Structure 1
Amino acid sequence: MSAELPVPDDLVLVGHISGAFGVRGWVKIRPYSRDADAMLSAKNWWVDKPELRSIERLEAKNHGEDVVACLVGVADRNAAEALKGAVVSISRKLFPALGKDEFYWVDLLGLSVENLEGQSLGVVRDLMDNGAHPILRVAAHDVPEAELHKHEILIPFVDHFVKRVDQVARTIQVDWGVDY
């Protein structure tokens, strides 16, 4: 553990520790994204249990839908179990660069969604992965025309429906009706 590192002001939640992995202190992490490259490449992780602190990652690898990791100072199963439930964060500066028209899910959260007619559909509150592609979960509680959706609209995050993402203007334009 490295308590002397200053807490970065750009921490991004990337997963949570779901339990121990084996008996030698490895932890199992459930990533918040299908692509765990940022987590796997970062040398220092920040965990919030018992309080926010930096932990050096010695080794990490994909294990099915999870990531398993060996961390400095976590020497046995009991120490690994003590971290169960901790949120794992890393500095945004450590994220790998993306190509054109690629986005980290965390960058889409909070963006306003409007259709091609300029009607507001709501705000991206979450994303989920259905196996084929990501799906935007749009909170529609402030949109009277979307009342039939019971406060949530699910929009596939694919080129056919998503026409433009403007991170500067914090908007996503979609080919989607308010009555879909």
Structure 2
Amino acid sequence: MPDNDRPKVLMARIGAAHGIRGEVRVKPFGDDLLSFSDYGSLITDDGRVFEVDRARVQKTVAVTKFRGVDDRNAAETLNGTDLYVFRDQLPEPDEDEFYYSDLVGLDVKQPDGALLGKIAAVQDFGAGDLLEVRPKRGRTFYVPFTKAFVPGLDFETRSVTVDLPEDYLSEEKPPEVAD
């Protein structure tokens, strides 16, 4: 399978330069701050490949030296770069576990079976995980990824069941509350 067809998993995001020898602060997306370096080469959206020379934990980031990034100027150009590994490089999750990237593309259905759309992405803007749902028509919308809103997840049928409040998708403004 060509590399651009292989699913990728976001592992980390490069932040600010650290020092003058090409090190950068890396914000990993995982429980272990150094796990992004366990799977070999890291790739970017535009196809660049990064190899970790060394990494060390410093508070909530990993100060990292990438091969070929040898000075502060080179390091500064990487700020904001997302780093991925191919999904097939990761270990298979345990039973009742999954990677968020495995959710992308699943059908989103109501309890009565009505199709609302497909999962376009899983987002976290700081207040918890959200499923971004792309309907057949119209703008995407978000559903909190909680048991109350998403009571069913079935990888065999490639679908999730969402239980939304009656007016959840309404475009009407709620009535004003009097003081």
TM-score, normalised by the number of residues in structure 1: 0.70
Match of 1:140 in 2: 135
Tell me how far 1:156 sits from its aligned partner: 1.7
Which of 90, 107, 111 is 2:102 aligned to? 107
Contact 2:9 2:87 survives alignment (8 Å): no
Q: How does 1:57-68 map to 2 (within 5 A)?
A: 57-60=52-55, 67-68=62-63
1:179 matched to 2:167? The reply is yes
Specify every segment of 5 or more residues in structure 2 that has no aligned partner in the other structure, as ranges. Answer: 169-179
Letter in 1 for 2:108: V
How far is the alpha carbon of 1:93 from its aligned partner? Answer: 2.9
Q: Could you tell me which residue of structure 2 aligns to residue 156 of structure 1?
A: 144
| Stretches of structure 1 lacking an aligned partner (at least 5 in a row) | 1-5, 143-149
Match of 2:84 among 84, 89, 111: 89
CA distance in 2, matches of 1:7, 1:138: 26
Matches of 2:100 and 2:67, distance apart in 1: 29
Report Cα offsets for 1:52-103 as digits up to 9, x if no partner.
3433212335666655421112122122123345442213233244233322
Q: Distance in 2 between matches of 1:62 and 1:174?
A: 39
Residue 109 of structure 1 and its aligned partner are, at CA, apart by: 1.5
- Correspondence for 1:21 among 18, 22, 42: 18
Matched residue count: 165
Instruction: Report the structure number with the largest CA radius of gyration.
Output: 2
Say if 2:9 and 2:86, in contact at 8 Å, map to a contact too.
no
Q: Secondary structure at the match of 1:162?
A: coil
Q: Would you say 1:55 and 2:50 are equivalent positions? A: yes
3-state SS, counterpart of residue 78 of structure 1: helix
Given the alignment of the two structures, is residue 129 of structure 1 paired with residue 111 of structure 2, yes or no?
Answer: no
Structural RMSD (CA)? 3.3
